[in-house]
Each structure stands twice: as C-alpha cells, then as structure tokens.
Structure 1
C-alpha cells in the first residue's frame, strides 16, 4: 500500500509517518518503480504498535527499545518488557508529583491575590515571583490611604 493508504488506515498525517521513518522506527518495505514508498501489512502492524505505545505515554526512545524487543522476542524475557512498563510508571508518578507541586504553588498565588481592578504595582503574585517567596494570604488585605480604601492584593 502507498503512504496515503497507510496514514488513512491509522489516522495519522504523512508528516507523522515520515517523522517515524526519520527516527528509524518504521521503514517502507519497498519502493515502486516511480519511487513511491510501499508498505505491507507488517509495516501497518508496526505503525499500530508505535501509535499504541505512544498513546500510553512511551517516548520515542522508549518505543525504539520496545520495538527492539518486539523484533527479537526470543532474545528477551517478559520481565524485560515489564521492567520498561514499571520504569515508565515510575517516571509518570514523578511527573504527577511535580505537577501537584506546581498546582499547590499556583493555588497559593491565586489565593493570595484579590484580583481587583487596581494597578498591579502591589500585586502579591508579582511580589512573590519577584522575591522568590511563596505568596502569603495575609498579603491580601485592605489598606486605607488618603481616606480612600485601596486594595493591595
């Protein structure tokens, strides 16, 4: 099958398929006399494997490693594949912990700022980012200046 048929079958773009070829994850089985890339059913299954591995979060390097195992199954053990999955799960858990820290820090910044219509010159979020310290909710307060109430957030 030609490249157009393969990309249509798998719902990817031609650019994506060519990118996988440049990354040496997939190679056309042959070329036509006119120079068109030709793919067979094995290539289609390989692309499906790549797309499924990508959909569960594996990086291109990790997919490359899984393909090496896939291509030489008899030389590997099931434990080797399971190790790859467990490493990926650990990586994702670390990313989730980092995202949680980001969320908590942003939540602190959000809660410390009133979000009012006044100038941002006294904004607690900008102050916290400038000083490299977490925003504190006590920075969100009302001040009286020149007998006018001004919100310093």
Structure 2
C-alpha cells in the first residue's frame, strides 16, 4: 500500500509516518517502479503498535524500547512491565496534577461574586502580582 493508504488505515498523518521512518521506529519501505513507497502488512502492524503505545502516553523512547523488546518474543516480560509501570506512575502524577487544577478552578468559580469584572476573583487570580 502507498503511504496515504497506510496513513488512513492507522489514523496517522503522512508526516508522522515519515518521522517514524527517519527516527528508526518504522523500517523504510521498498519502492514501486513509480518510486512510491510500498508498505506491507508488517509496516501496518508495527505502525498500529506505535500508534497504540502513543495513545497510551508512552514516549518515543519508551515505544522504541517496547518495539525492541517485542521483536524478541522469547525474552521474559519484566522489562516491558518496568516500562509500563513507569508510564503508570507518570499517568498517576498527571491525574493528581489535573485533580489539583480542577480543585483550584472550581474554587475560583465558587468565589465568583457574580458582580462586575472589577470584583471577579478569576480575573484577579490570573493577573500578575
């Protein structure tokens, strides 16, 4: 399949596919006689893996490590667990940060005087110093 077809099949932008190729996450495809990139089932599977990992928030370095690990199916999965646990810690940290942000915004909204902008607690909280 051509790059546009691969992009549509995986919901990935063409530029992103090219970036993954340049960064070594996705093998460069062969070329057709018309010099188009020719992607196969392996490219589709690997790009789908990358997309799913990125959707779960894994960094490019983590995706690279997961791909390297997945290429050797006989290895123990402890290293994969370690990467996933690190990502879970990161997700938990983000959730805690977002929860604190939500609390703060909710508090500002609750303090809103519903009067004029001069009395607006939200504007005061956003203003410098």
Q: Which has the higher strand share?
A: 1
Partners in 2 of 1:59 and 1:72 — Cα distance? 20
TM-score normalised by length of structure 1: 0.72
- Structure 1 consecutive aligned stretches of length 4 or more whose deviation exceeds 6 Å: none
- Larger Rg, first or second structure (1 or 2): 1
Aligned residues, how many? 129
Cα 1:41–1:129 shift into 2, 3 Å: closer
**RMSD of aligned Cα (Å):** 2.1
TM-score normalised by length of structure 2: 0.83
Matches within 5 A, 1:56-135: 56-74=56-74, 76-116=75-115, 118=116, 120-130=117-127
Report the equivalent of 2:45. Answer: 45
Native 8 Å contact 1:113 1:124 kept in 2: yes
Partners in 1 of 2:127 and 2:13 — Cα distance? 44
Native 8 Å contact 1:32 1:38 kept in 2: yes
Report the equivalent of 1:4. Answer: 4
SS at match of 2:78: helix
Structure 1 gaps, min length 5: 133-153
Partners in 1 of 2:80 and 2:4 — Cα distance? 32
Native 8 Å contact 1:2 1:36 kept in 2: yes
Native 8 Å contact 2:113 2:119 kept in 1: no
Structure 2 gaps, min length 5: none
Matches within 5 A, 1:137-152: none
